Amino acid sequence: MKKVIATVTAAVALLASGSLAYNGVQAATENEGQIMVPVIVNGHKVKFPDTEPYVDSNGRTMVPVRFVSEKLGGKVDWNAATRTVTIATQGKSISLTIGSKAPTVNGHSVELDTAAAMVDGRTMVPLRFVSEALESKVTWDEGAHAVQITDAAYQAKIDNGTVKLDAWGRELSGEADERWNKLADVPEFVYELAAPADLNNKSFIAKYGSSWADKAHVDKWADHVREYYKAQLNVDYRNIDTESFTEAIVTNMGLDGFATSEARQEMPNYIAWLKQNHVILRGYADPENSLVRYARSGPIFRTHFKFMIVEADDTTQTVMDNWNASVFSDSFEMKKGVWYDGYADVSLTTNFGNNQEEHYALRYTENMFLKERYKYEENK
């Protein structure tokens, strides 16, 4: 199936023009198996070098304290002896102690329903409490599963038109470009990767962004990308369940009955390889909803990937995207215990003839390493 799918990829391109400890890496049970939670502070998506935000058992979004607080102008200090983190701004001091549900604001105790925690060596704190204590507005974007945080100074820039945001609360760069609605927080190389399409990002959104490619539909398509890669990038050869893994993959693909049957037949072969190769993976896909474009089969998301090979004998073939790869994808040796961060394209399609916008889901089992359409770097 993989070679058939990859052949179609080339044709379209031409037509369009428990806790685990391995290698010093500690995986936290708190955030295993969750879809990552994008955090957007003053129009810029925060990139976390290692530990990601997660939703705890009390339904609270927990974030690494330093990366969010400093973006809101706070100075962060850590007292190892008392296991207390202090966030200081002009006129305000916030202290949270690991395991305590009673932080203080300017010396006054506040009762919360969740406590600061230590995860993978990072101090995780309740996002809403910290943000609001720093006098910032917190908004939950249900469709994008994202948190938006805006302080008063940045809100003033929005109100007076100094900055412009997209539908997902991201700041537009304002840079003139024929193909892309560029975002201020996305590296330039993301726009320089090959991007075959019938309608580029700018044309697609201009033509259909107020109808069938509106925010609600784009969010729906992006959900399939997140769920598909939540399954693919979070596997453990010791306890993977063939049936549940297969369902997570095929239910997030837009294939017809025959191709779905082929996919189901192929999954046990991949899982057998995972077990033989002792593969343990962690990671996620975060589609850039603003950077969607269109080829004749469906939308294509430029997608942010972050992943780690925790364990594997052969690191050239670990994720399904580079296992038994076709000639259209790369497969190369990668390091274990290292976070890889970068971007690639994820293509969608549907087998429905009517109301296609309601049914778009993944088209290929090779996306992450398609030649000339990806770039990853090691997080230092």
Residue 352 and residue 219 share a domain: yes
- Inter-residue contact 341 to 306 (CB < 8 Å): yes
Same domain, 323 and 215: yes
How many CA atoms are closer than 13 Å to the CA of 169, on its beta-carbon side? 25
What digits encode the pLDDT tens for the residues 166-182?
Answer: 999 999 999 999 999 99
Task: Reduce the DSSP state of residue 37 to 3 states and report it.
Answer: coil
Residues 259 and 354 in one domain: yes
Q: Enumerate the β-bridge partners of residue 63.
A: 125
Closest CA to 205 of 253, 162, 168, 161: 168
Considering the domain architecture, whether residues 300 and 216 belong to the same structural domain is answered as yes
Contact predicate 242/267, CB 8 Å: yes
> Do residues 240 and 314 both lie within one domain?
yes
Residue 354 within a domain: yes
With a cut of 50, say whether residue 21 has pLDDT above it.
no
Q: Same domain, yes or no, for 231 and 356?
A: yes
Instruction: Evaluate if residue 78 carries a pLDDT over 50.
Output: yes
For residue 54, the domain's CATH number is 3.30.457.10
- Of 29-33, 108-112, 279-283, the range with the lowest mean pLDDT is 29-33
Q: Say if CB 328 and CB 6 are below 8 A apart.
A: yes
Decide if pLDDT at 9 tops 70: no
Residues 117 and 236 in one domain: no
- 192 and 99 assigned to the same domain: no
What pLDDT shows up at residue 206? 97
Q: Is the Cα dihedral 265, 268, 271, 273 positive or negative?
A: negative
| 24 in a structural domain | no
- Let me know whether 112 and 242 are in one domain: no
CB 71 within 8 A of CB 46: yes
Residue 68 placed within a domain: yes
Domain housing 285: 188-379
Instruction: Say if 146 falls within a structural domain.
Output: no
Of 99, 124, 139, which residue sits at a domain end? 139
Residues 229 and 332 in one domain: yes
Last residue of a domain, one of 123, 139, 155: 139
pLDDT > 50? residue 247:
yes
Is the model's pLDDT at 26 over the cut of 50? no
DSSP 8-state assignment for residue 29: G
User: Given 107, 139, 171, which residue is the final one in a domain?
Assistant: 139
Q: Is 25 contained in some domain?
A: no
In a domain, 4, yes or no: no
Q: Which two tokens stand for residue 170?
A: 């991201």
In a domain, 153, yes or no: no
Per-residue confidence at 29, pLDDT binned at 50, 70, 90?
very low
**Order of strands, sheet of 108-109, starting from the edge strand that comes earlier in the sequence:** 75-79, 84-89, 92-97, 104-105, 108-109
Asked if 231 and 319 sit in the same domain, the reply is yes
β-strands 146-151, 39-41: how paired? parallel
**Helical segments of 167-233, H only:** 189-192, 201-208, 215-232
Which residues make beta-bridge pairs with 131?
Answer: none
- Asked whether residue 15 is domain-assigned, the answer is no
Q: What percent of the chain has pLDDT over 90?
A: 84
Same-domain check for residues 203 and 344:
yes
Query: Per-residue confidence at 24, pLDDT binned at 50, 70, 90?
Result: very low
| Pure H helices in 209-319 | 215-232, 242-250, 257-277
Round the average pLDDT of the chain to a whole number and report it.
Answer: 90
Please tell me the total count of domains within the chain.
Answer: 2
Q: Cβ neighbours of residue 207 under 8 Å, at least 6 residues apart? A: 199
* Residue 269 pLDDT exceeds 60: yes
pLDDT digits (tens, 9 = 90+) for 213-243: 999 999 999 999 999 999 999 999 999 999 9
